[in-house]
Structure 1
Amino acid sequence: MATIKRTETSNVTWKEVLEIINSGKATEKLKPGTEITETLKDGSRAVIAVAAVDLYQNGEVIFCFRNTVGEDHRMNKEWTNKGGWKDCKMREYLNSEILALLPDELVEMLSPKKTIQIQNGSTLECEDLLFLPSEYEVHGEEIYAKYNGVDKQFPFYKERTNRIVVDEDGDTTWRWLASPYASNTTYFCFVSSYGGAYSYDASYSFGVAPGFAIRKS
């Protein structure tokens, strides 16, 4: 039996995206995998996919970049994952330099997303407008990072190929995740160029493909 796949493309503003969320029709009109193409302030092209709808709370849509933005960047200047995502330099980079690249209309409607990590028996929490997904949110299992008992896999990432991102040239590339390696003091987790789970030293530069959340207002 043959199958047919149809795609529909139309123009949209972020204000209209928010209107869909506020109308309660996100599960219908913003299904995981829905892509929005945006031009950033530096002139680069970004492809942003809906990764989850109503996953952590009703009326929340989580979006993730399908390509890297800015330059490859280190999680920390030093060889350490101490303090996890909460204390890493990548967090500062995302919520300053990368945030500044987004359209003002979009930034105004972003909702902070909480990151919870367990490191050396301590619970670390913070909230950000731009974030990197955790290992569990991407892969749906505990591999290198300690599972916090809260995170859920983004439905979009259940397909391994959807975990792959590309660089500015369209080539598949490695990209960092927010999760520190549980049994190592210098590594953070990352996603390989074919969607696999790996980890590497925090001072190494990999691609940056952030996520953000918009909630019903």
Structure 2
Amino acid sequence: MDKNVFSQLAAEFDRMERTITYQKEVISTMQKTPTCPCCKVPADGRIYTLPELPKMKLDDCSWAEIAMYAQSGMADKVFAQGDTKKFTLSNGTVMTARIIDFNHDTDKENNILPITFETVETLNDDFQMNPEYTNKGGWQNSQLRKVLNNSVIEMLPADLRKVIKPCLKKTSLGGNSEKYGLTSDPLFVLSEQEIFGRKIYSHGGEGHWYGWYRQENTEYGKCKQNGERDWRWGRSPRSGFASSFCGVNGSGDADLNAADDSRGVSFGFCV
């Protein structure tokens, strides 16, 4: 057998063994009797403490395993907000996905999506929100939304694409409109309110503050693969104007971009 193949198989078997060991720990922990929710003493007179599940390293898990824990309802017990996992695009670019919240988003049937990820870096290429100088139609009718969910998603590894769940997002329709639109997509960019917890230049009402960005001293700015600080798009049209969208500048501050500017893209997805 080729030495490289043997080495790869050995590494895979080792990973599988660690996963099985971990799952046995989870089962053992879950079988322990917790304290009664109403705080009454159990019939046997003994007081039990609620067992704490051991944390698992996200990067050691396959996307299928991550999805399994998500669907079991244990994602927020076995993973931690801020955990990261690397993945490779079809062009060879290595990116990092970070958990930015648990049980935050929903699908169009209002089912809770257990884990929300966002890329730590921006894509190497810059993109326009729209080819024209307009935000009319908002995120719903934007060119960037189409690019993400037709072209960029095809660059993701197949095992990741398989577990991504379309996420429902509410966003202003732009063009000085007071109306909002709903979109359901596998990939999305965050709204101003989801990043900063409030409206600054946007209409507001476009989702809620993600847990990762709610923490003290969280870095709002992002970089490209080469470490260069990058401006990036948000999906929120600027309130009261028909030509620009909200975004985050290289220093991590809320800012604005003309719709036909080319800016960086960091995208979110749910599992």
TM-score (norm. length: structure 1): 0.89
1:191 aligns with 2:245: no
SS at match of 1:54: strand
Q: Which residue of 2 aligns with 1:68?
A: 122
What runs of 5+ residues in structure 2 fail to find an aligned partner? 1-56, 107-111
Deviations 1:131-171 (A, max 9, x none): 001111011001111112x6111111124543222102022
Greater Rg by CA: 2
- Please tell me the root mean square deviation across aligned C-alpha atoms, in Å: 1.8
Q: Aligned ranges for residues 116-155 of structure 1 at < 5 Å?
A: 116-119=170-173, 120-148=177-205, 151-155=207-211
1:17 aligns with 2:66: yes
1:33 aligns with 2:82: yes
Shift of 1:59: 4.8
1:90 aligns with 2:172: no
Shift of 1:25: 1.7
Shift of 1:14: 0.3
CA distance in 2, matches of 1:189, 1:164: 14
> Larger deviation: 28-37 or 160-169?
160-169
1:110 aligns with 2:164: yes
Q: Aligned ranges for residues 174-185 of structure 1 at < 5 Å?
A: 174-185=231-242
Q: Which residue of 2 aligns with 1:202?
A: 259
What runs of 5+ residues in structure 1 fail to find an aligned partner? 1-7
Query: Is the Cα–Cα contact under 8 Å of residues 128 and 261 in structure 2 kept in the other structure?
Result: yes
Shift of 1:45: 0.8
- Summarize the Cα distance change of 1:51–1:115 in structure 2 as closer, same or farther, 3 Å threshold: same
Q: Which residue of 2 aligns with 1:45?
A: 94
In the alignment of these two chains, the number of paired residues is 207
SS at match of 2:66: helix
> Larger deviation: 121-130 or 150-159?
150-159
TM-score (norm. length: structure 2): 0.72
Shift of 1:22: 2.1
Deviations 1:30-65 (A, max 9, x none): 222111111111100101100110123545211000
- Summarize the Cα distance change of 1:47–1:122 in structure 2 as closer, same or farther, 3 Å threshold: same
Deviations 1:58-100 (A, max 9, x none): 4521100010125100000110000000001000110111101
Q: Which residue of 2 aligns with 1:4?
A: none
**1:95 alignment partner AA:** N
CA distance in 1, matches of 2:59, 2:84: 11
Shift of 1:23: 2.5
Shift of 1:29: 2.2
CA distance in 2, matches of 1:90, 1:176: 9
